[in-house]
Amino acid sequence: MKQNSLKIILGSSSIYRAKLLSKYVSDFESIAPEINETEYKGESPQDLSMRLAKTKARKIAESNPQDIVIGSDQVVSFKNKNIGKKTDYESAYQTIIKFSGEKIYFYTGVVIVIKESKIELEHLDKTIIEFKSFGRKELEIYLNSQEIFDSTAAVKYESKKFQLLIKQIITEDKQAIIGLPMNWVMKQLKKIELDKI
**Catalytic residue at 73?**
yes
Buried b (16+ CB within 10 A) or exposed e, 67-88: bbbbbbbbbbbbeeebbeebee
Task: Evaluate whether 136 touches 145 at the Cβ level (below 8 Å).
Answer: no
Marked catalytic residue, from 73, 125, 173, 195: 73
Q: Which residues contact 178 (CB under 8 A, 6 or more apart)?
A: 16, 17, 20, 157, 158
d(CA 114, CA 33): 16
Q: Is 150 exposed, middle or buried (CB count within 10 Å of its CB: 0-12, 13-18, 19+)?
A: middle
Rounded CA-CA distance 187/165 in Å is: 32
Catalytic residues: 73
